[in-house]
Amino acid sequence: MEFPLRAIVSVSDKTGLAPFVQGLAQAGVEIFSTGGTKNSLEDAAVPVRSISDITGFPEILDGRVKTLHPKVHGGILALRSDPEHMRVLTEHGIQPVDIVVANLYPFVQTVNKAGITLKEAVENIDIGGPSLIRSAAKNCVSVVVVVDAADYDRVLEQVRTGGVSLEDRRALAQKAFQHTALYDTAIATYLRGADDPLTKEFTIGLTQVQGMKYGENPHQKSAFYREVLAPKGGMAFATQLHGPELSHNNFLDADAAWSAVNDFPEQSVAIIKHTNPCGLATHADLAEAYRRALAGDPVSAYGGIAAFNRKVTNAAMDDITKTHYDIILAPNFDPAALERMKRKKNLHVLQVPPRPEGSVPLDYRRVTGGMLVQTTDILAENPTSWKTVTQRGPTEAALADLAFAWRVVKHVKSNAIVLAKDRALTGIGAGQPNRVTSVHLALRTSGANAKGTVLASDAFFPFPDGVEMAAEAGITAIAQPGGSIRDDEVIAAANKANIAMVFTGIRHFRH
């Protein structure tokens, strides 16, 4: 880099700015700035000139137009190695700009505030800043662009010692384009709204929350990201209160546990192993809800995740501490309960906020070379509207258990079968290539407890064999979507066994 150098500084976040720019000035860099940034630098006694000294034009439209000028962007974009470019600069009295320091209006912070209007949101859409950043990043062969305060010290040191290397300028340009891409994604996400989320063109904006030692397996790399403008609930906003660093698989299992337990309006406890519920129950007394959840599969619960959708009480800890868990999560904890959990060195304790009322986040699934995007499986269903298709309908108690089982089954991998009694999970069959195998596994898990339970199936029974197997175990009622070409045979099998069966008309595949 040849001196004297020129820098344009225009930032919203002024963290660490004054000492950085003071250092640039002391290294012989001439500083030009705009509006509030210029005032801030002057207050810190940093020598700075107005951007109007470059443009020969005042800031107008309440600061909407400051840097959008040929003498700014010409100075940034000109190729120093191109004689014609340099001739044009000379002809028009334009000086090259060598360093651009910029970050953007706080759009995300603004729209995350309650009650923000469209007018207020639009006023926080930066135009000049992204233009400066993109111009500088495009010409990174000649121009240094800095959008992150974390890079100030490294850039200043290199300027002082002769110049920023091409390798570093390229890395800074990559960060700059990512910065503006995330910003544009946040704006598009906000303007898109919830009514029509699946637009023709779609970008996902993510910011890294933390890196991890490895991914699903030790040979895979992994990091955890938060989606821009994500609803403030769930694992993206979890606070770890105790325990070692979470792993990739910890995040997957914890999210499955949180999703399952928060799908229930009643006080509930879910126990998850490898993203499938192995125990789930609702009860007015938290300790009893936990005991019933654990009874669903106490063997599989070992080393799993226990999730609560209400505050964890100290009274419930007498039972909870008897089983080893990797993670316990809840919206909050009694101080005494939390203190008892902290006695277990390797236990992860997470405070996870519930999903905001009315939010329906999008679900992303990676496929080779692309992405599937859908709305999350959140649906208000009324069990009293289900169609009874057998000679005998479910009792009031059985219908309540069917409603519980039906809510559980959508959190179990397809083909999914759930058995329940007294609003507690007693057995599951998950992820099998055929449904009858899932019935077999659910019955085997439940054992003698299967008698008198109800059964929910996430999709229709293609053959009567699953119903016949359930009948032999003493199942009293079944909820399933219906819609098979053999529905008549399946209903006949239920009638023969005196099982009540309802068709929900809805399926809940979870692949």
The structure tokens listed for 137 are 């990043």
As a whole number of angstroms, the distance between CA 320 and CA 144 comes to 56
CB-facing half-sphere around the CA of 378: CA atoms within 13 A: 18
In order of 208, 211, 228, 230, 362, the CA distances from 225 in angstroms are 4, 9, 9, 11, 15
Q: Which of 85, 274, 311, 344 is catalytic?
A: 274
Instruction: Let me know if 344 is a catalytic residue.
Output: no
Q: Which of 138, 175, 311, 344 is catalytic?
A: 138
Instruction: Let me know if 221 is a catalytic residue.
Output: no
> With contact defined as beta carbons under 8 Å apart, do 267 and 260 qualify?
no
Helix axes of 166-192 and 152-160: crossing angle, nearest 10 degrees: 150
In order of 56, 193, 213, 246, the CA distances from 243 in angstroms are 59, 37, 15, 8
Helix (H) or strand (E) holding 167: helix 166-192
Q: Which residues pair with 457 in a beta bridge?
A: 417
As a whole number of angstroms, the distance between CA 421 and CA 295 comes to 12
As a whole number of angstroms, the distance between CA 321 and CA 31 comes to 62
As a whole number of angstroms, the distance between CA 156 and CA 120 comes to 36
The reply to whether omega before 218 is within 30° of 0 (cis) is no
How many other C-beta atoms lie within 10 A of the C-beta of residue 28? Answer: 11
In residues, how long is the chain? 511
Which residues are known catalytic residues?
A: 138, 274
